[in-house]
Structure 1
């Protein structure tokens, strides 16, 4: 790997970490009631957004692909519960078939799972971005299951698995399969925020091994 490629990879990794930390802080801020703690979280959020701007400038120097990735990172950082709710509702409204063998697996290391599913480095950035918001998706799904609809996790899993199996049976594999599921999970919505929320939902189920080979 050349110095330039290594530098770009490090920037992408840093961007993913910043987005993940930003999501965690914003989630804590929603639930926090202690004024001093809220003030500290707001300061941390402001600092993390500054780090994102620094990464953005550096990534722009690598060309259009990195500008696109930067835009996704910015959008992902702005995804709200409303966006997550929108794509989850759309997925729940999909027509589903009965899926056999939907056993639960223990989470697998993301890089190991990428290898098992023939996913290349081109997909890693999308995974990093989506996984950065996976915690918020988990919080949303689990809260819905506890308070409103206990079958939400299983219905979501069935919706994504139905599409996954259909694509597998058509002969689709690897990066192409992932990107088709990305479009499906966001319901082909043209809104970048809804697209990013769909990616977060897909990556949540990727992480839990409910979609893709474990």
Structure 2
């Protein structure tokens, strides 16, 4: 279960990071529907009436959610939205909820003026409701209270230890060959892996665990390269392509955990299964160990 939970943990983090606007609202509502199937009510916008400022209601908890997914925090805009959304919800649903929860998609937390406004609303004698906030930690907690079947519904099938241990050379060869079609890049230097590389790259525990499990089969990748006696530069050429792809993802602003999954998808191709993902993790672990991808603390960027 350790591998599955790590894989789902990484998938959840990336899904959370990448969800903005309506995508984030759909994600939050899906978590609530799966976690509280007999309690959560999704409110569907109805033409000009909209949703009456209600993004979902937990009936037993008497908690109303208002989902906000900003790409940035502009003080005047966010405070105006909090006021308008809360007052609109109170006007339509006053006797239906006791707690109004501002639910956001910023992993770093909320600005102090947002918390201050929520506290002001909670203490106001004009407002009969408590106002609080939920972010990444709370949504992840609720998601991982789900059983494995519902986690599959939310995040898709997970790589398991059996998938990792079953990886053989024949699983890796098609992926490596497909990478030969990627535009070549300057050859990268192969360097030993520093012992603190995982930590220095600010990878989450889930990402670290997946790479460590991938390393249990990365020798299969090395064995394949060792057999390429007629193509002595094959390994270095693919390493350069990995370097170029990693740098592209990094320059696009992806976080380290996002890059791990992006590389899995890049290697595994369109027919993604837990087995192909396990093989992709073995390849990524190989080039990670060889310092073709991610940051080498002793040398800087690759």
Q: Which moved more, 1:73-82 or 1:132-141?
A: 73-82
User: Greater CA radius of gyration, 1 or 2?
Assistant: 2
Aligned residue in 2 for 1:165: 247
Query: Contact 2:172–2:283 at 8 Å: present in 1 too?
Result: yes
Q: Deviations over 1:93-146 (max 9, x none)?
A: 2123346xx33322222xx212221101021221122101011111111111x2
- CA 1:161 to 1:189, structure 2 compared with 1: closer, same or farther past 3 Å? farther
Instruction: Give the direction of change, closer, same or farther, for the CA distance of 1:124–1:63 in structure 2 (3 Å limit).
Output: farther
CA RMSD after TM alignment: 2.6
Length-normalised TM-score, structure 2: 0.45
Higher relative contact order (CA 8 A, sep 6+): 1
**Alignment counterpart, residue 290 of structure 2, candidates 198, 204, 208:** 208
User: CA distance change for structure 1 residues 150 and 206 in 2, over 3 Å: closer, same or farther?
Assistant: same
Give the aligned partner of residue 106 of structure 1.
192
Match of 1:151 in 2: 233
For 1:170 and 1:133, how far apart are their aligned partners in 2? 30
Structure 1 residue 88 and structure 2 residue 176: aligned? yes
Could you tell me which residue of structure 2 aligns to residue 115 of structure 1?
199
| Equivalence for 1:141 | 225
| Structure 2 unmatched ranges of 5 or more | 4-145, 297-302
The reply on whether 1:78 has 2:166 as its aligned counterpart is yes
1:63 Cα offset (Å): 4.3
Q: How does 1:11-22 map to 2 (within 5 A)?
A: none
Unaligned runs of 5+ in 1: 1-7, 13-61
SS at match of 1:168: helix
TM-score, structure 1 as length reference = 0.62
The 2-side partners of 1:124 and 1:169 are apart by 22
In structure 2, do the counterparts of structure 1 residues 162 and 72 end up closer, same or farther at CA, with 3 Å as the change threshold?
Answer: same
Alignment partner of 1:127 out of 211, 230, 252: 211
Check the 8 A contact 1:90/1:187 in 2, yes or no. no
Query: Which has the larger strand fraction?
Result: 2
1:213 match: secondary structure: coil
User: 3-state DSSP class of the match of 2:225?
Assistant: helix
The alignment of Structure 1 onto Structure 2 pairs a total of residues equal to 150
Q: Give SS of 1:85's match.
A: helix
Contact 2:169–2:224 (CA<8 Å) still a contact in 1?
yes
- The structure where helix makes up a greater share of residues is 1
